Amino acid sequence: MSENLRPGLSAHSCYTARMPRAPDPRLGTRSPGGLNTLENDRPCGSCGYNLKGLTPGGVCPECGTPIRARASANEATPELLEAPRGHVQALAAGCFILIGVVVLKYLLALGLALGRASLMWSSAALACIGLLWLVGVVLVTLPRPGKPELAWLSILEFLSRWTARVLALAVPAHPLCVVASEIASASANAAGAPFNPAPWQVATVVLNALVWASYLPLAWTISNLALACADHAIVWRTRAAIACLLWAYGMHGLMFWIRSGTATAGAGVFGLLGVLGWGIGWLIILISLGQIGAMMLWAIRYNDEATDRERRRIEREQREKDRFPAPAPVSPIGPPRPHKPARQPSQGAAARSAPRRPTS
Do residues 217 and 249 both lie within one domain? Answer: yes
Instruction: Evaluate whether residue 278 is within a structural domain.
Output: yes
Do residues 33 and 180 both lie within one domain? Answer: no
Q: Which domain holds residue 142?
A: 85-302
Instruction: Evaluate whether residue 39 is within a structural domain.
Output: yes
Please tell me the total count of domains within the chain. Answer: 2
Do residues 146 and 218 both lie within one domain? Answer: yes
Of 274, 302, 330, which closes a domain?
302
Do residues 30 and 118 both lie within one domain? Answer: no
Do residues 146 and 34 both lie within one domain? Answer: no
Instruction: Evaluate whether residue 319 is within a structural domain.
Output: no
Rounded to whole angstroms, the Cα distance separating 91 from 344 reads: 83
Instruction: Evaluate whether residue 126 is within a structural domain.
Output: yes
Do residues 103 and 214 both lie within one domain? Answer: yes
Instruction: Evaluate whether residue 5 is within a structural domain.
Output: no
pTM: 0.66
What single letter denotes the amino acid at residue 228? A
Do residues 56 and 200 both lie within one domain? Answer: no
Rounded to whole angstroms, the Cα distance separating 46 from 41 reads: 15
- Consecutive sets of 10 residues in the chain, 360 residues long: mean pLDDT of each? 44 42 42 55 70 77 71 56 84 93 86 71 85 94 78 86 93 89 83 81 90 92 81 84 92 84 72 90 92 86 77 81 75 69 59 56
Of 278, 302, 326, which closes a domain?
302
Structural contact between residues 167 and 214, judged by C-beta atoms closer than 8 angstroms? yes
Do residues 230 and 143 both lie within one domain? Answer: yes
CA angle, residues 286, 289, 291, in degrees to nearest 5: 110
Of 68, 96, 127, which closes a domain?
68
Residue 78: the pLDDT is 67
Q: Which residues pair with 59 in a beta bridge?
A: 27, 66
Instruction: Evaluate whether residue 106 is within a structural domain.
Output: yes
Instruction: Evaluate whether residue 55 is within a structural domain.
Output: yes
Residue 354: the pLDDT is 54
Do residues 209 and 297 both lie within one domain? Answer: yes
Residue 187: the pLDDT is 84
Rounded to whole angstroms, the Cα distance separating 78 from 50 reads: 10
Do residues 292 and 204 both lie within one domain? Answer: yes
Do residues 259 and 166 both lie within one domain? Answer: yes
Residue 262: the pLDDT is 61
Q: Helices 267-323 & 198-225, crossing angle to 10 degrees?
A: 40
DSSP state string for 11-65: HHHHHHHHSPPPPPTTBPPP-TT-TTS--S--B-TTT--B-TTPPTTSB-TTT-P
Residue 15: the pLDDT is 39
DSSP state string for 270-330: HHHHHHHHHHHHHHHHHHHHHHHHHHHHHHHHHHHHHHHHHHHHHHHHHHHHHHSPPPPP-
Instruction: Evaluate whether residue 337 is within a structural domain.
Output: no
Do residues 184 and 249 both lie within one domain? Answer: yes
